[in-house]
Each structure stands twice: as C-alpha cells, then as structure tokens.
Amino acid sequence: MAFLLSLSGFAQECPNLTLPTAGATNVPVDTAISWEEVVGVTGYVVSLGTTPGGGEIVSNQPVGSVTTYNPPLGLPESTTIYVTITLFFFDQPDIICDAIPFTTRNEVNPPTCTNLNSPLDGDTGVNVGTNLSWNYAPRATGYRLTIGTAPGLGDIELNLDVGNTLSYNPPADFPAATEIFVEIVPYNENGIATGCTEESFITGSLGEPPGCTMLINPVDGQFNVALSPLLEWEPVPGATGYLLFIGRSPFENDVVDGAIFTTTSTFVFNFEPNNTYFVRIIPFNDAGQAVDCPQESFSTILGCGPFFDEETGELVVLNPEISFPDSIGICLGDIPRVVTAPDPADGYRWYRVTKSGDLLLISETATVELEETGNYIYEAYITTDDGQGSLLECASSSEFTVVASQEAQIDEFFIRQFGDFFNVETVVSGIGDYEFALAIDGPYQDSPEFNGLTEGNYTLYIRDKNGCGIVERPFRLLFPPTGFPPYFSPNGDGVNDLWNYIAPRIDPLPLRDIYIYDRYGKLLARINPNGRGWDGIYRGNPLPSSGYWYRAETFDNQVFRGYFSLVR
C-alpha cells in the first residue's frame, strides 16, 4: 500500500489495485475494478477517466464499503484508464489517492446477450408505467429493443436503437393486464449478439399504482445511526405492501434483498459500524409497483470503530470483548437454567431466534432464563459519548445454541493390562456432551480412554460440558501374582498347567465369567473364575505357544481385559 499524509496529520494507507494491477495491459473491457481493503475507512468513492484524476467514464461514484466496482457500461477498448479511489471518512477530510493506470485490449468479438433486471422475466402485476432496465452485456457499445404484445410482434417498439444505455423509458404506458414481450440485442463494431431470447412480464390490472416513499428514521444522509436501528418510512396511500432492499453498496442488496412488509417499519439487527448502507423501498398494490423510487443512504456509528485515532494513528475499537460459548445446555429436570453474562459491559440483551427467523427479545439484564432448546443471540454493549452530546452504544454479539443435556450414564467399563501398565476405557450414554478426568478438578479430556496407568486406586469423573453434573466411578488396578497371571505352560509337569484368575487375599474382584480369545478375536473358552481354569485345549486340540486375550466380567458389570502368554 502507498502512504499519504491526511489533512488531519497522521499517515493513512491508500490501497493498491488487485484487479487489474497497476500498469496491466490487454485488460478485457468487462473487467471489474478491485482494490485492497483499508481498515477503518467508512467507504470508497471511485472515478474512472482517460487522464490522471479524470472522471469522464465514471465520476465520483460512491460504492459503500465494498472493494469491487463494476463499471455499469464497461470500459472503452484500446484505452488507458486511470482509476482514482477516494477514502471517505466522517471524522476527518476525505483522502484522494493517486490515480492508477491500466490499458484495455482491442475487442474483436461481438457482445454476448443480456437479460432484463427490471421488470424480471416472468414478473406479474408490473406497473403499466414501468421503465425497462437490463444488465450490461460484455463488450456491448449499444442495444436494440423490440417490444410487443405478442412474441416477435414489435407493435410497441421494433428494433429501436437506444444507444449505450441500460434503461429505456417508453413514451406511453403499457396496456394493463397484458403480457409484454421484450427482446434486447446488444451490438458493437464487430457485430450483434446472436441467439438472444425474448423475455416477458405481465402488467397489473387497471388502477392506480402507489407512489414512492422515503425514510423517516434514519433520514437520508444521516450518520451515527445505531447498529440495530428501527427502520421507518412514510406510509403511501393505496399501497398494500413494501419491498425493502438494503446493501453495503448501491449495486448489491447483500443485507436485505426484496423482503416484503405490510407495515412501515422493521428492526434490522447488527449493522457493521463505520459503514454506509444503501436503502430502496418500493411500495406496491394490485396495479403494480411504484416506479423509479430513489435510493437513500445512511451511515452507522463511527464512535465504536474500528477507526483511526488522530493522535496515535492506530486503530481503535470500543466494542466490548465477549467470550460466550457456542453452545449451552439446559439440564433435564432442572429448567429453567439461569445464565449470567461473563463479560463486563454497560448493558446486555438476549434474543431468541424464532422458527421464522425473527428475533424475540427475552432479557435486557445480565442474566437470562433459558427454558427451551434452539438458537439464541447474546449482545453486550458499552455506551460512549458520540462527540455530539449524545450517547451511543458499542455492541458486540454472539450466536449460541441451547441444547438439552443430562448427566452421563456408564454403560461399560474396560480395564486392559499391557505389561506393567493399564489402559482404562469407559462407554457412556446420554444426551449431554461429556469430558473425562481422573481428578475432580481435572484436567478433563474429551477422550474416554486413559492409558499408561500404574497399579493403585482411582476415581473416574465424567462431567457434562453443559453444566449438568459430574458422575463418579471408583476403580482399582492390580498386578499379578494375584490377579490375572501373565503366562502359563500346559506341558503336564504340574506347574502352571492351568490359567485362571488368582484372587488376592484383600479386595478380590467379584468375577462372574472369564472369556478367552485368540489374537484374531475368536472365542476359545469360557471359564468359571472359581473353577479349574483353562488347559490350553480348543475342541480337543492343544493350542500352540502364542499370545491370548481375556475378558473378565464382574457381577457389578465391570469389564477387565488383558493379555497373557501360552508357553510350551
């Protein structure tokens, strides 16, 4: 980025072009202009000309906070174009950056086809006094229109050359309740577009369409607008509804795109600070939509940031830092759950997101009672002086999900011996989100398995992450010679000819059954812990020297697993 010295006295970055790059050649005429984002800037203003600082192609066009601009009529071919980007602020003078050049290529192909964007193909109830507009066709330098009341008829306009423009105002209203057919054929010096399809729309019935409206809160051009404002507009006689469009640039409705309202106000939640927003409201009734309603704009508060501090030249953000989890559990049998905001702030708001996507305010204090699962929004804000004698809110918000939760239930508990160490694993069930530890204060882990444990007494703690309680399970780890022998040798010499559990004198395990498997998991024997034991025979045949596994089950459903050797 290049650096300029603003009139307010601190260094400010000017962006470089990212597409096309400075000095690029052979650039297509339909290229969109893109540049680097400058943090803390309220918006950008773009000019395009054939001389440094000129604006004969586009002159001082505000584009909001986006960093891409599509010239509405494309660019002239075989021409050096100069891009001038102006950084727009509310709290200091604008900064005009140096012009950046690039050169377009000589186009040798005809243009492609285009489409109506107002009215859209297939629209109904269109105002009889509507104007037509269409999208830019790459490489086009002009357009021809055929308009009629039947396909290909052209009884309203026939092959009319409207020049290099993207709109047409018919000299007379269209007939009411009629399907209107429109063909738009782009052209340039290399020829006309081919294969363009005819589009159509149906006008509204006889009657008087409504007129346009205007914002009354915030008013057009207002700044320091709150981040969650109530948008209000003037009611229009005869209107049955309103179409609302909101975008961060004049060209794209990336916030609200044609939402229908039957009232004259709506809340818009959580605009970004230090940004300009563009609003168009179009009233309608059965006779059609209002025509040529203007676009209005307002800018959100800049006291919260990010903005440049004139004294330090650094970015400042006044919004509170929040640290709210993505998910919270409500414990079955203990509803409602009272949750307290974890972050210091001047005020709080809690919203529940309804099934229709609306926001229902459920608390304006630091605590909230949560009674049902679903999606919620937590907002914390700090109030600050806006420099004009009023207070404004600097808010931060976080979406979170409320889920049902409960204490864990232990289904199985496995103990496996590996040499001088044990591995312990538990299987739990329940609708909670669980973590595991061998001390009540942790550390806790997501895995239900603990490896490399030595002989001793332990307690397993299973904690619900959503705060619905801790389940405890004591267990004991013991090594042979009392317990499960590490080997036996069934060779008939009377020493270690049988393998079985050897109960210790103190705290023997209350075993019910022992199962023996080969290394592939095949069941070889089931023995009684109080019986004779296993002799290394399977279906009458002595098994070879190898490693074998056991699974021992207690009367209280503990499971012990381990490894031993058969030696011959």
Q: Which CATH class is domain 327-405?
A: mainly beta
DSSP one-letter code for 225: B
Query: Residue 314: which H helix or E strand, with range?
Result: none
The CATH number of 409-477, from 2.60.40.10, 3.40.50.1240, 3.30.420.40, 1.10.3720.10, is 2.60.40.10
Between 521 and 143, whose confidence is greater?
143
Q: Return the pLDDT at 329.
A: 87
CATH topology of 2-103 equal to that of 215-299? yes
Distance (Å) of CA 476 to CA 435, 445, 504: 21, 21, 13
Q: May I ask the CATH class of domain 487-566? A: mainly beta
Render pLDDT for 361-414 as a digit per residue (tens, 0 to 9): 999 999 999 999 999 999 999 988 755 556 778 889 999 999 999 899 998 888
Fold of 215-299: Immunoglobulin-like (2.60.40)
Among 247, 156, 165, 231, smallest CA distance to 200 is for 156
What residues contact residue 66 under an 8 Å CB cut-off, 6+ apart?
44, 248, 249, 252
Coil, strand, or helix at residue 476?
A: strand
Closest CA to 426 of 468, 456, 459, 466: 459
- The reported pLDDT for the residue numbered 332 is 84
Tokens describing residue 538: 């399977």
Q: Is the distance from CB of 511 to CB of 480 less than 8 angstroms?
A: no
Q: Where are the domains of the chain?
A: 2-103, 116-202, 215-299, 327-405, 409-477, 487-566
Q: What is the mean pLDDT of the chain?
A: 89
CB 112 within 8 A of CB 33: no
d(CA 468, CA 447): 19
Structure-model confidence comparison of residues 92 and 91, the more confident one: 92
- Separation CA 119–CA 406 (nearest Å): 55
Q: Say which residue, 11 or 190, is predicted with more confidence.
A: 190
For residue 390, the model assigns a pLDDT of 64
CA-CA distance, 525 to 64, in Å (whole number)?
Answer: 78
**Could you report how far apart the first and last alpha carbons of the chain are, in Å?**
79
Give the pLDDT of residue 375: 96
Beta bridge partners of 561: 416, 551
CA geometry: angle at 154 spanning 150 and 160, to 5°?
150
pLDDT at 91: 61
C-beta of residue 485 within 8 angstroms of C-beta of residue 499: yes
| Global pTM exceeds 0.85 | no
Of 562, 551, 556, 505, whose CA–CA distance to 529 is shortest?
A: 551
pLDDT per residue as tens digits for the range 478-514 = 765 558 888 888 987 676 789 999 887 777 889 999 9
More confident residue, 272 or 204: 204
What secondary structure letter does DSSP report for 317? -
**CA–CA dist 563, 487 (Å, integer):** 9
Instruction: Give the pLDDT band of residue 10 (cuts 50, 70, 90).
Output: very low
Q: In the chain, what is the greatest distance between 2 CA atoms, to the nearest angstrom? A: 116
Q: Which two tokens stand for residue 317?
A: 């953000």
- Note the CATH architecture for domain 2-103: Sandwich (2.60)
Residues 6+ apart with CB under 8 A from 68: 32, 33, 34
Q: Please give the sequence-ordered ranges of beta strands (E in DSSP) within 311-390, or none if there are none.
A: 315-316, 327-331, 337-340, 347-353, 359-363, 367-370, 374-385
What is the percent of the chain with per-residue pLDDT over 70, rounded to a whole number? 93
**Architecture of the CATH domain 116-202:** Sandwich (2.60)
In terms of C-beta density within 10 A (0-12 exposed, 13-18 middle, 19 or more buried), how is residue 464 classed?
buried
